[in-house]
Chains A and B, each alone.
Chain A
Amino acid sequence: EVQLVESGGGLVQPGGSLRLSCAASGFTFNDYWMSWVRQAPGKGLEWLANIKEDGSQKFYVDSVKGRFTISRDNAKNSLFLQMNSLRAEDTAVYYCAGGNYRAYWGQGTLVTVSS
């Protein structure tokens, strides 16, 4: 059974940092690009970042460039999102997604940025 399980969310103060993780199982993780997507409360989906199978290429949405870093550890079938300089507007559920034609999604982890 394919699973993507996000972790690392929580409450953080503005300006703080958080590192999200996504543990993958049930498919050949290192064969696929992976992504992070977020959804602010009551809002639509926002694509944040992509990373190539071997980590050699990464792309970001403008709003997180320079603040967020996507990475992966293929030996551990894991995807990460390092989030720095967090703002209130980064409050959202964060999903990892990927696999064969973006077939797989995690259930998401909630990040709340508030003082």
Chain B
Amino acid sequence: QAVVTQEPSLTVSPGGTVTLTCASSTGAVTSGHYPYWFQQKPGQAPRTLIYHTSNKHSWTPARFSGSLLGGKAALTLSGAQPEDEAEYYCLLSYSGPWVFGGGTKLTVL
């Protein structure tokens, strides 16, 4: 099955902007992969932030946005807050099976 790759770790300053990416071993990520983004804090269940590339749930802070960028799915955080420090996972569909990325540990420092 496919391998989905994310940056292992990123650091952003409070108030700053950072982009996390999600690449597929099978080629460019497209809307047909229905990219999802999840946030997970230590000891908690994941929380769904973005679905189908760029759509937000009602609880998703406006500072998070999703897109396709250079053949990858991307999650951009604009105006980082201390509470955004967490692990972020992308999830891609492969016409039946789904595959998570390895996760990006985001530090706000």
A and B: bona fide binding partners: yes
Which residues 84-109 in B have Cβ within 8 Å of A in the complex?
Answer: 87, 89, 91, 96-103
Contacts A61-B1, A101-B57, A102-B36: A45 and B100 contacting too (C-beta < 8 A)? yes
We find that the number of chain B residues with CB closer than 8 angstroms to chain A is: 23
Residue of B nearest to A4 (CB): B45
CB contacts (< 8 Å) of A47 on chain B: these are 91, 97-100
Partner pick for A105 among B1, B48, B102, B103, CB 8 A cutoff: B48
CB contacts (< 8 Å) of A78 on chain B: these are none
Q: Which residues of A contact B (CB under 8 A)?
A: 35, 37, 44-47, 50, 57, 59-62, 95, 97, 101-103, 105-108
Which residues 41-98 in B have Cβ within 8 Å of A in the complex?
Answer: 45-48, 51-52, 55, 57, 87, 89, 91, 96-98
CB contacts (< 8 Å) of B100 on chain A: these are 37, 44-47
CB contacts (< 8 Å) of A45 on chain B: these are 38, 40, 46, 89, 91, 100, 103
User: 7 smallest A-B Cβ distances: which pairs?
Assistant: A101-B51, A59-B96, A44-B103, A47-B98, A105-B45, A45-B100, A59-B97
CB contacts (< 8 Å) of B96 on chain A: these are 50, 57, 59
Query: Could you give 20 example pairs across A and B, Cβ below 8 Å?
Result: A37-B100, A44-B102, A44-B103, A45-B40, A45-B100, A50-B98, A57-B96, A59-B96, A60-B97, A61-B1, A61-B99, A62-B1, A101-B52, A101-B55, A102-B48, A102-B51, A102-B91, A103-B48, A105-B47, A106-B45
